[in-house]
Amino acid sequence: MELKRNQGSFVISAASLVIALIVIQICITAKAQTNTSFTPADWFDIPSTNGKIGFSENGTYAKATLTNDTWAFNDLKLNGSTPIEMFIASAQSSSIIITSYRATNTTQMLRYIAEGQGRQTFNMGIPAEDGRWGLHPEWSVIVNNEWLGEGDRWSITPDGNVTVTGAVGNVSIVHYGFLGLDDDSSDLTFYEQHSVAIITILSVAATAIVATLMMTRNKAAKPTEKAATLLD
């Protein structure tokens, strides 16, 4: 009876581990399925300012909202670009096509194409603070390969809103500085970041349960074998 009870508890423990792994995988899949896909054919219009925003590549986002004539994208992932947790963009009297976003430990660059001599504003989640002498040398704006100094058709606020005015053609917004990026893993879920450790722990636990079960069976079998020997 004691052996049966032990076997039952071990089976329940092993089953619980398997169920836990399945639930984790389901949660990850469900989160991935909530993202919305877009293509270069999709436009994000801003009717009141005669502006619209598009992307040159396919991508996904978790949420996109238009508030106060500004589009905010959560968990934006553009093919061939670095994922960005929060991206804010606005356009007035112009159409813009985001072509790429690159982020490393030292440089962050947003590239886009502008049509119409209007105004565009972006926020990539990088604060500019107050700046020294009112300037921000760690930021640059390049229009058609021409470097523009701060105040020359562009400005930036302490919270990181970069506004470019009158630019037509290829535009790059560059920030030089250390963000402490960790191999682009910040966009991953807790399980995705620590999946190896979690699976290892669960595997070790499952192995321990199986080993204990086998030891218990062996101990239970020894008296039977001894009794059979005595009977002989």
pLDDT by residue (tens digit) across 144-162? 999 999 999 999 999 999 9
Same domain, 110 and 20: no
Same domain, 140 and 172: yes
Same domain, 132 and 44: yes
Same domain, 15 and 120: no
Q: Where are the beta strands (DSSP E) in 56-192?
A: 59-61, 63-67, 70-78, 84-92, 95-103, 107-115, 119-123, 139-143, 146-148, 154-156, 162-165, 169-176
Same domain, 19 and 55: no
Same domain, 48 and 113: yes
Mean pLDDT by groups of 10 residues along the chain of 232 residues: 56 56 52 82 98 98 97 97 97 98 95 96 89 79 96 94 97 83 46 46 51 56 46 46
Same domain, 125 and 17: no
For the chain, the domain total comes to: 2
pLDDT value, residue 128: 86
Classify residue 183: in a domain, yes or no. Answer: no
| 166: containing domain | 36-176
Classify residue 190 by its DSSP letter.
H
Same domain, 72 and 111: yes
Its pTM stands at 0.64
Classify residue 100: in a domain, yes or no. Answer: yes
Same domain, 46 and 16: no
Same domain, 71 and 155: yes
